[in-house]
Amino acid sequence: MTFESLGLHPQIIKALTDAGYTEPTPVQAQAVPAAIAGRDLLVSSQTGSGKTAAFMLPSLHKFASAAAEGSAGKTPNQQAQAARARGERPRFAPAQPKMLVLTPTRELALQVTTATDKYSTQMRRVKAVSILGGMPYPKQMQLLARNPEILVATPGRLIDHMESGKIDFSQLEILVLDEADRMLDMGFIEDIELIVSRTPETRQTMLFSATLDGMVGNIARRITKDPQLIQISGSSTRHENIQQRVHFVDDLLHKNRLLDHLLRDVAIDQAVVFTATKRDADTIADRLNIAGFAAAALHGDMHQGARNRTLNAMRNGQVRVLVATDVAARGIDVPGITHVFNFDLPKFAEDYVHRIGRTGRAGRKGIAVSLVNHAEGVHVKRIERFTKQSIPVDVIEGYEPRKSAAPRARPGWKPGDGRKQGSGGKPGQRTFAKPGAPRKDGGGYRGNREGGRSDGRRG
Ligand code: ADP
Ligand code: MG
């Protein structure tokens, strides 16, 4: 399968070749032709599977083809010029994007914009800009004044601009909801509905999500027309290329010691350590720095500038260990991340999937290690149910838990036999669930997900 065979415009093929892409990923192979044919799409596919290009390539193709036919409309700047020519004072002309991509977080929006720039290097006329919370207002106005074809935005800030008349969606042709499940989790449902209601009925709509069950499926059906359903590899959550394991810890001291030990593994290129709270992210980053690791924190309380600097430092390798909260780390795509550590388990099983998806990017291998208090065994079980995979428990010599982990009624496991097992650092054989055991309650976890998050709700 080649990109040519998907029917993409030569300008796009050239950009992809320059970017080193040799063939489409499975989700791209399915989504691109369907989107070029004008279909609405509902897509679930795991993180790192290339979803950005799956919606951006066919959209760019559409713009490239339209430009070739010379069907570009009057830009607001031309409208303003026309007004001047008539001797009228031009009003502020709202931006009239042709494509809108909604994402849950600022980081993700910036990533989509960067990827778009990469895919459109050969198309001089296409501009993509991000409109984000935390960005200085004059800067946003400047970006909108360029009347970009493609707008990438988090819902909250976008609505501010819509309400003040800076954006007009009457010319919108394509609407993309990226990580829709996550946007709903973050409470953006009403914002999304409002935004969608301001876009033309004639638009093409593409929705991407880890899952299409529940609320997401609901909204998906309402905003799409006769959508093509694309579900890659059955479960979107398997992460076959990521080796997962659990270490039990007795207390915080034990957890800290074990983390320091694990971080000294020479196999680590770069790592992300996930914490439950912003404060923990700061504290642990400070502690690791003192211990000699090149560590930095990333969380929602930091200014956008500081977040970008930290991410850039991670990208160029100055930072080796990023200590992050869920929302801040959403969508981070740094190929050097070989390891993910859950210093705290996430509240929701989906977050676990997104966390470990920070490693093993673009087909590489990755390792995901969770440090788990004995009382949290039940959370591990939930994650296993959600991912339909069992996670081996590992014990490292010198870092054995004093208490033996004692989840109830585990088949094939006797109390006490975990202590000396797997001491060479290889994952032990013990698991919470029998591999391949049938799980009739696989979807049950999503039901009880109300409750506050420890991180900011808005991107
Ligand atoms: P997702 O949104 O599914 O998590 P991304 O769109 O962020 O995935 O892509 C993940 C990584 O894979 C990015 O670094 C991207 O540049 C790379 N990638 C995407 N498509 C291809 C391809 N066809 N060939 C090689 N690399 C690709
Ligand atoms: Mg993505």
What CA–CA distance (Å, rounded) separates 455 from 442?
26
What CA–CA distance (Å, rounded) separates 211 from 196?
20
Q: Which protein residue has the closest C-alpha to ligand 1 atom 20?
A: 50
169, 174, 175, 177 alpha-carbon torsion, rounded to 10° = -150
Atom of ligand 1 nearest to the CA of 27: 3
Q: Quote the distance between the C-alpha of residue 263 and its chain's center.
A: 24
Atom of ligand 1 nearest to the CA of 53: 6
Kindly state the average pLDDT of the residues 198-216. Answer: 90
What CA–CA distance (Å, rounded) separates 92 from 99?
21
Regarding predicted confidence, which is higher, 332 or 246? Answer: 246
Q: To which residue do tokens 């008539």 refer?
A: 86
Kindly state the average pLDDT of the residues 106-132. Answer: 92
Ligand 2: centre distance to CA 4 (Å): 23
User: What was the pLDDT predicted at 457?
Assistant: 38
Total-model pTM: 0.61
CB 209 within 8 A of CB 180: yes
| pLDDT bracket for residue 83 (50, 70, 90) | low
Ligand 1: centre distance to CA 346 (Å): 25
Q: pLDDT > 70: what percent of the chain? A: 81
> For residue 416, is pLDDT > 50?
no
Q: What phi, psi does 297 have (nearest 5°)?
A: -95, 155
Kindly state the average pLDDT of the residues 195-208. Answer: 97
User: What was the pLDDT predicted at 187?
Assistant: 87
Q: Is any ligand 1 atom within 6 A of the Cβ of residue 94?
A: no
What CA–CA distance (Å, rounded) separates 262 from 268?
9
Atom of ligand 1 nearest to the CA of 23: 23
- Overall residue count recorded for the chain in this entry: 459
> For residue 50, is pLDDT > 60?
yes
138, 144, 150, 151 alpha-carbon torsion, rounded to 10° = 50
Q: Is any ligand 1 atom within 6 A of the Cβ of residue 51?
A: yes
> For residue 357, is pLDDT > 70?
yes
Kindly state the average pLDDT of the residues 52-56. Answer: 98
| pLDDT bracket for residue 212 (50, 70, 90) | confident
Q: Is any ligand 1 atom within 6 A of the Cβ of residue 24?
A: yes
Q: Which protein residue has the closest C-alpha to ligand 1 atom 10?
A: 48
In this structure, of 170-179, 244-253, 278-287, 404-413, the range with the lowest mean pLDDT score is 404-413
Q: Of the residues 49, 108, 364, which should be mutated to test ligand 1's pocket, given the most ligand atoms within 8 Å of the CB?
A: 49
List pLDDT tens digits, range 141-181. Answer: 999 999 999 999 999 889 989 998 999 999 999 999 999 98
Q: Which protein residue has the closest C-alpha to ligand 1 atom 23?
A: 24
CB 269 within 8 A of CB 314: no
Regarding predicted confidence, which is higher, 409 or 194? Answer: 194
Regarding predicted confidence, which is higher, 64 or 92? Answer: 64
Q: Which protein residue has the closest C-alpha to ligand 1 atom 1?
A: 48
